[in-house]
């Protein structure tokens, strides 16, 4: 069953901007899907339409089979949203915010209080339950928005850049939490500019650009499309010039660091064989950028090159 099914979704804003040019997207129940794209690509508009915050111009949206045109309340009941911008009532307490949200979904107050304790504890906010929202740190506000989105136990959780501006420790703990609720059955759609985050968490990727879906595949399929990966090797002994490595491009970054390009079809074994022949000892190895980021950058560069050649 599809948690989300979008067909030919279009949005033209009153100022004439065509934010979505007929996108199709299907997300399976239980999936963890990344919705990626540059700023202004249409991600937030698409999410806004799915969550009824933006009126669509055309097309259809179904959430677990419930159409937002004919069965809106049932569709809405399935969704939890963590929006990109902080939209908390900053003058209300942490506890009131989540309990009120439960009330809007028809959950009685007794159960709402029980769930509030559960989710605020899990998100390490229970001690702050009587604090006024404006006094919370940025990371706490983000976690509060996650607790608020989960209070009615949605089947589909949509997170629009949930870790923006959050320090690495809290980000990692949020990742662990999201992995857990996904494993427990919640379908998750995540938009993020941290591609490491998407690569680490998501099994499916849809890339949206200029109002169109330009990639929509499993993460593993997308990563296999990478034509070239760059690795940074830390060497035991410093070099004064870049070594000649047959079939590999390389350049010296510093005395003890070497950047090597490995094309699709080449293996790291071949690279290490070349290095061993020249008695170069590698102490450690890391990707220059994460693989999804390289794919994404490559895609944007190809697009810009195409636009340049079309304009020339």
Partner 1 sequence: MQAVPGPDMDIKLNLIAVKTIMRKEVLRVLRIWIQTIVPPAITMTLYFIIFGNLIGRRIGSMDGYDYMQYIAPGLIMMSVITNSYGNVVSSFFGAKFGRHIEEMIISPMSNAAIIVGHVAGGVIRGIFVGMLVTAIALGFTQLEVQHPLIMISMVVLSSIVFALAGFINAVFARKFDDISIVPTFVLTPLTYLGGVFYSISMLPEFWQKVSLANPILYMVNAFRYGILGTSDINIGYAYLIVGVFAVGLFTASLMLLNRGIGIRE
| DSSP conformational letter for 31 | -
- The residues, any chain, with a CB within 8 Å of residue 115's CB and separated by 6 or more, are 98, 102, 107, 151, 153
Per CB under 8 A, which of residues 48..77 are in contact with partner 1? 48, 51-55, 64, 66, 72-74, 76-77
To partner 1, the closest distance from the beta carbon of 88 in angstroms equals 6
Toward partner 1, which CB reaches closer, 48 or 162? 48
**The binder of partner 1 chosen from 128, 141, 148, 171 (CB under 8 A):** 148
- The residues, any chain, with a CB within 8 Å of residue 157's CB and separated by 6 or more, are 79, 80, 81, 82, 149, 150, 181, 186, 187, 188, 189
Does 131 contact partner 1 by CB under 8 A? Answer: no
Site string (85-124) toward partner 1, x via CB under 8 A: x-xxxxxx---x---xx-xxxxxx----------------
Q: Segment near partner 1 (CB under 8 A), from 25-33, 80-88, 187-195, 250-258?
A: 80-88
Toward partner 1, which CB reaches closer, 37 or 48? 48
Burial of 281-293, coded b for 16+ CB within 10 Å and e otherwise, reads ebeeeeeebbbbb
Does 141 contact partner 1 by CB under 8 A? Answer: no
Toward partner 1, which CB reaches closer, 55 or 267? 55
Toward partner 1, which CB reaches closer, 144 or 195? 144
For residue 276 the two structure tokens come to 């061993």
The rounded distance, in Å, linking the Cα atoms of 233 and 260 is 8
- E strand or H helix at 66, and its extent? strand 66-67
Helix ranges (H only) for the chain are 43-50, 72-77, 94-104, 109-122, 138-150, 168-183, 195-201, 219-224, 268-277, 291-311
**Binding residue count for partner 1, defined by CB under 8 A:** 40
- Residues near partner 1 (CB under 8 A): 13, 48, 51-55, 64, 66, 72-74, 76-79, 81, 83, 85, 87-92, 96, 100-101, 103-108, 148, 152-155, 185
């Amino acid at each position: 069953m599809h948690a989300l099914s979008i067909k030919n979704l279009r949005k033209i804003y009153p100022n004439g901007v065509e934010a979505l040019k007929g996108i199709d997207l299907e997300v399976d129940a239980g999936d963890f899907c990344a919705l990626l794209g540059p700023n202004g690509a249409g991600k937030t508009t698409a999410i806004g339409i799915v969550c009824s915050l933006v009126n669509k111009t055309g097309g259809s949206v179904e959430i677990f089979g419930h159409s937002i045109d004919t069965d809106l309340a049932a569709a809405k009941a399935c969704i939890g949203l963590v929006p990109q911008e902080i939209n908390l009532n900053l003058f209300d307490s942490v506890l009131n915010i989540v309990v009120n949200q439960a009330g809007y979904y028809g959950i009685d107050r007794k159960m709402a209080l029980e769930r509030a304790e559960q989710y605020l504890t899990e998100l390490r906010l229970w001690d702050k339950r009587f604090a006024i929202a404006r006094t919370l740190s940025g990371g706490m506000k983000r976690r509060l928005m996650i607790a608020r989105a989960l209070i009615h136990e949605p089947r589909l959780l949509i997170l629009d850049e949930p870790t923006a501006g959050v320090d690495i420790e809290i980000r990692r703990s949020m990742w662990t939490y999201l992995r857990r609720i996904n494993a427990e059955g919640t379908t998750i759609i995540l938009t993020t500019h941290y591609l490491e985050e998407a690569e680490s968490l998501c099994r499916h990727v849809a890339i949206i650009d200029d109002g169109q879906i330009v990639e929509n595949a499993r993460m593993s399929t997308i990563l296999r499309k990478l034509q070239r990966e760059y690795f940074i090797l830390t060497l035991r002994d410093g070099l004064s010039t870049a070594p000649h490595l047959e079939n590999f491009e390389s350049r010296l970054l510093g005395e003890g660091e070497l950047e090597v390009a490995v094309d699709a079809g080449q293996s790291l074994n071949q690279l290490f064989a070349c290095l061993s022949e020249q008695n170069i000892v590698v102490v450690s190895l890391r990707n220059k950028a994460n693989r999804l980021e390289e794919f994404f950058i490559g895609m944007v560069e190809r697009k810009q090159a195409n636009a340049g050649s079309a304009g020339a």
